[in-house]
Amino acid sequence: MRKIIAIAIVVMSIVEIGFSQNSGITVELHYPLTGANENNNYSDVTGIFGAGFQFQFSDAEFVNYGLEYKFDLNQTYQRYEGSTSENINFMMNHLNGFAKINLDLMQKTKVYTNAGFTFYKYKGGQSQQGFTGFNAGAGLSYEFVEKFYAQASYNYIKAGLKQKQTGFIDSETFSTFRIGIGFKI
């Protein structure tokens, strides 16, 4: 019984510290609406799930900046002649820098922009291709309750693959629109 009480006190203390201080860390869940260029290896892409983590370095009045990691789990399929198609999953990983602008007119609304590095690898199909590249985008978030916010964002993604044996260079582009919710720790 004493162990349970001690654990409850520790957990409540940690929660209280998390709510009483602005750590600059946010966690988000989102749905990626991923559109692929028709010249990509797989042009029919469906978003499944996504999440992200941000760490804000500054707490200024007008502009704040930091780093973020986001991932988008997507699905496409490989069509085989004379048979059914095979599902192929791939997770796009994004490591970005970001800047958030605080608007005086709308105190709960933040406009932000981000840019950074993207990498992903197709899992399934005839090949295990790994792509690297860049992404850039912008978004809008609205804090609807203290510590909770809703957001919408858009990212342009361009990635490439260079095969060492043949020197073949492959390039893909995506447009990803995300809608989701987040929590400030």
Average pLDDT over residues 63-90: 85
Which tens digit of pLDDT belongs to each residue from 111-135?
A: 999 999 999 988 765 556 789 999 9
Q: Is residue 40 part of a domain?
A: yes
Number of domains in the chain: 1
Cα gap 91→66, rounded to integer Å: 23
Which residue, chain included where needed, has tokens 């060492």? Answer: 164
Q: Are 130 and 121 in contact (CB under 8 A)?
A: yes
Q: What average pLDDT is seen over the chain? A: 84
Q: What is the pLDDT of residue 117?
A: 97
Stronger pLDDT, 60 or 128, i.e. the higher one: 60
How much is the pLDDT for 18?
46
Q: What separation in angstroms does the CA of 48 have from each of 55, 126, 150, 169?
A: 25, 22, 18, 28
Is 18 inside any structural domain? no
Compute the distance between CA of residue 49 and CA of residue 47 in angstroms, rounded to an integer.
Answer: 6
Query: Which CATH number is 43's domain given?
Result: 2.40.160.20
Q: Residue 15 falls within a domain, yes or no? A: no
**Per-residue model confidence as pLDDT tens digits over 77-88:** 876 666 677 888
Question: CB-side exposure of 50: number of CA atoms within 13 Å?
Answer: 29
Best mean pLDDT range from 38-47, 79-88, 136-145: 136-145
pTM above 0.85, yes or no: no
The answer to whether residue 128 is domain-embedded is yes
Q: In terms of residue numbers, what domain contains 134? A: 24-184
Overall average pLDDT of the 129-149 stretch: 92
Domain presence at residue 9: no
In a domain, 3, yes or no: no
Whether 5 maps to a domain, the answer reads no
| Residue 79, C-beta contacts closer than 8 angstroms, at least 6 positions apart | 85
